[in-house]
Structure 1
Amino acid sequence: MKPTILLLIILYSLSACQSKQQVTESISTIDSTLQANVTSVLESKLSEINAQSGQVIVMEVQSGQIKALVGLTKKDSADYQPCENVCVQQPTGLMHPVSLLAALETGKVKLEDKVDTGNGIYPVGNETMKDHNWHRGGYGEITLQRGIACSSNIATTKTMEMAFGDNPQAYFDLLAKMDYGKPDSITGIANLQPYSITETDMIWLSIGYNQFISPIQVLTFYNAITNDGKMVQPQLYKDSVVVINPQIASKASIDSLKQALAFNITDGLGQPAKSEKVTVAGKQGTCQVSTNEDGTENKSDTEYAVEFCDYFPVENPQYSIIVSINKKGLPVSGGLMAGDVFRQIVDNIISYEE
């Protein structure tokens, strides 16, 4: 065969491969019907609670394919407009299960272990930590599983003290080993920044503060829990599955945490996310993301993030979902607000697929 003909064949083959790759990458994973339905549900809830903005991401558990990616923000009027940047980073109220998983990995704690949360007020250095029901006398002595179901900051703090004692570096090492905060980039999503920590204080970090993380990075970690420990890369274009971490934690620790997340829906503050159509598991969270300009708290312009994240069906997980809503002023509730959006979306998907 002449060299010129051989060269043409090689060039044609390379061109065909590149064209095939471009076609593959251009096929979106987004389900347009689901995208429209999710947008409607989120917009209705944002309007109902007069929120500033909100995001919802629906992802297939095993493939990481994103089926819905919705970001809405309030403009000058009362209307909500699509927000292209769905990568806003801020503290998260969904950190408690992450910290519990790290604690379980040490082998020093179990779900049935008990901690005394007292009256809901606990001194931490020069500051004071409070559970959301401190004004009602706190939760007293509860199991670690109940601590997750109650979203008890103090239960998580005492769990960290039991598991890591005076060695907080072991906690940070486990977070890194579990690839918490990944990925650093996703094709098709602009402005995603690497996860970052502002202060190396184990206690406050363990309940979600002193860090900047985006909802899609939180979802990636929760999806790994759902996926029996395998962390996969979220993707907006249909392609082969990319594994970030084949096993973020031991099967025993993962199973214990999934048990706690299911218990949270049946017996905890996650009950507003419970569906009558399918079994779900998940975690609600609320955290303060800003204060007034003068530094005071609990005023009308203090901003909070209310969130809910996780998966369904419990027996054979197909989808993981995160709902993240930013709202100024009280009242705020991850379960009642974000959890209700989660439930509506789950029911919508089930009805759509029937």
Structure 2
Amino acid sequence: MSFAQKAVVADSIDAEEAFGKKQVPQVPLEQCEHIDTCSIAKFAIVTKDGKQGIYDLEKHENVTEIDFDVADLFRRYVSEEGIEVFYFYVERGIERGTIGVVGENNQTVSVWMDNPEYVAKLDECTTIDSAIAQKCHDVLSEGLKSLDGTYGQVAVLDAQTGRLKAWIALEKDGEDYVEGKLLKQACSPRVLTLVGITPRLADINGSLKDKMDLCGGVYNIGDSISIRDHNWRSGGYGVMTCRQALTHKSNVAMFKILLVNRGDDAFCIWKKITSDEKQTNAMELAAVFNSLYQKNIITFPTLQADSVTEATIDRIKPLGRKYLQEVLIGLNKGDGIQASYAPKKVELAGIYGNYQGKDIENGEHKLAEMSFVGLFPAKKPRYALALFLNRPNEPIHDSKDLANGIVNNLVEWLTKHVQ
């Protein structure tokens, strides 16, 4: 955040507003890991357990709790009445703000707002289609209820221009679902694993007709590490063509392709692309998928008026993109693993993800994550659609429920929608 931006936030604090003296837990300096004296030596930023706080070196007291992710002194101000105020820029979670500290007595006042690094705003985006946005809101709300979701997003892009038509977030509030923040780091990118690996088949001079052994669903790579397919407990798959293996979302097949393509680096890459860390959002998923499927240019909406940013992709060969298109369509037709719940009247190129969460040391679980990203109609895409929802870690619901509860409803409605 620039000094000018910080100053604007600071100026929003009314000089006449009553500053308050709050009870602040006192932490001795010797218990702090770092003590960084500010440009004005009266104050220091102290760090404990990875968090930061404001400390008065003259009065030997904590001015704030040590619970900020970032803290930085950026301005000293003296009012007409001679009151000296020091302004600090702070970040905590998905918010950022300014804290004013009265020099005489360390009374404080603060102003907080969403941090644009973590939360998106659509106020200046002029490409939103209100009818599409309302439909997304209604369908997502019903889907979250039926699937016991806690938070979800859905985004729709114009597949030809890359411009954003809708981006909705809802979260659970008691028994209802209300508008949520458009968190930029709200879901994992793991649903794109197949999208990232399939084009590599062309890089290793492979063909979708080639056959590979899927090892009964378990591929041991050494050091007690194995790659497993979703059906490994029931015996997994045997020998399949690459087309069959990929349209059945075989992890073993994907890893074997990656192994030939990247050698010793394969497992590190695999861990990264199958990470469950929340690194992205529905809008980015739709934009990345749309670009990789169609062209050598990746297009992102800027959320400013109708502008987009573009960057050239030179990693995917034409044959690799052809393989990708065939696999993403094949997932949803014929003997593809998603064919039984694909929409009946629209040819879909898309993929579902269904992450079950994992145990945490204290016996709790991370939230499970259900997701979808795709284009339709597959041959001449009109829309790119991405959505995900978080839910308690229970195996009751699967991708079929997500398809029937949300995806097919939106796909069929959007196909008929005239812009």
Regarding TM over 0.5, the answer is yes
| 1:8 paired residue number | none
Q: Which is higher, the Rg of structure 1 or of structure 2?
A: 2
Q: 1:102 to 1:246 in 2, by over 3 A?
A: closer
Contact 2:198–2:254 (Cα < 8 Å) also in 1: no
Cα deviation code 1:83-127 (max 9, x no counterpart): 113323443331332332452352333222222222222334333
- Structure 1 or 2: more helix by fraction: 1
Q: 1:290 and 1:118 mapped to 2: Cα distance?
A: 25
Report if the CA contact (8 A) 1:108-1:162 is conserved.
Answer: no
- Rounded to whole Å, the distance in 2 between the matches of 1:289 and 1:119 is 24
- Structure 1 Cα separation of the partners of residues 339 and 368 of structure 2: 21
Native 8 Å contact 1:229 1:250 kept in 2: no
For structure 1, the 5+ residue unaligned runs are 1-24, 169-199
Q: Give the Å deviation of 1:232.
A: 0.9
Give the alignment of 1:134-149 within 5 angstroms.
134-149=232-247
In the alignment, the residues of structure 2 paired with residue 129 and residue 101 of structure 1 have an alpha-carbon distance, to the nearest angstrom, of 17
Instruction: Specify the alignment match of 2:201 in structure 1.
Output: 104
1:288-325 CA-partner distances (Å, limit 9, x unpaired): 455334367xxxx4422111111011121111111111
Aligned equivalent of 2:282: 215
1:260 is aligned to 2:338: no
Q: How does 1:1-354 map to 2 (within 5 A)?
A: 26=124, 28-75=126-173, 77-124=174-221, 125-168=223-266, 201-209=268-276, 212-245=279-312, 247-266=314-333, 267-271=335-339, 274-294=342-362, 301-331=365-395, 335-340=399-404, 341-353=406-418
* Residue equivalent to 1:19: none
SS in 1 for 2:370: strand
Report if aligned partners of 2:354, 2:369 keep a CA contact under 8 Å in 1. Answer: yes
SS across alignment from 2:178: strand
1:27-69 deviation digits (Å, cap 9, x = unpaired): 6211111111111111111111111211110001122211110
Q: Distance in 2 between matches of 1:167 and 1:143?
A: 25
Q: Which residue identity lines up with residue 139 of structure 1 in the other structure?
A: Y
CA contact (8 A) 2:247 2:336 kept: yes
**Shift in alpha-carbon separation, 1:311–1:231, aligned structure 2, 3 A:** same
Q: CA deviation at 1:70?
A: 1.0
Question: For the residues of structure 1 that align with 2:165 and 2:340, how far apart are their CA atoms?
Answer: 23
Question: Alpha-carbon deviations, 1:220-265, whole Å to 9, x = none?
Answer: 2211123233211224344354322255522221111001000001
Checking the alignment, whether the CA contact within 8 Å between 1:55 and 1:72 is kept in structure 2 is yes
> 2:249 aligns to what SS in structure 1?
coil
For residues 158 and 28 of structure 1, do their structure 2 counterparts lie closer, same or farther at Cα, with a shift above 3 Å needed? same
Computed over aligned residues only, the root mean square deviation of the Cα atoms, in angstroms, reads 2.6
Query: Where do 5+ consecutive residues of structure 2 fail to align?
Result: 1-122
Q: Name the CA distance, whole Å, in 2 between partners of 1:119 and 1:98.
A: 23
Between the aligned partners of 2:317 and 2:227, the Cα distance in structure 1 is 31
What is the TM-score normalised by the length of structure 2? 0.63
Instruction: Measure the CA separation in 2 of the matches of 1:218 and 1:206.
Output: 13
Structure 2: distance between partners of 1:40 and 1:211: 25
Distance in 2, matches of 1:156 and 1:99, equals: 10
Q: Would you say how many aligned residue pairs link Structure 1 and Structure 2?
A: 294
**Alpha carbons of structure 1 residues 248 and 202: separation in structure 2 relative to 1, 3 Å:** closer
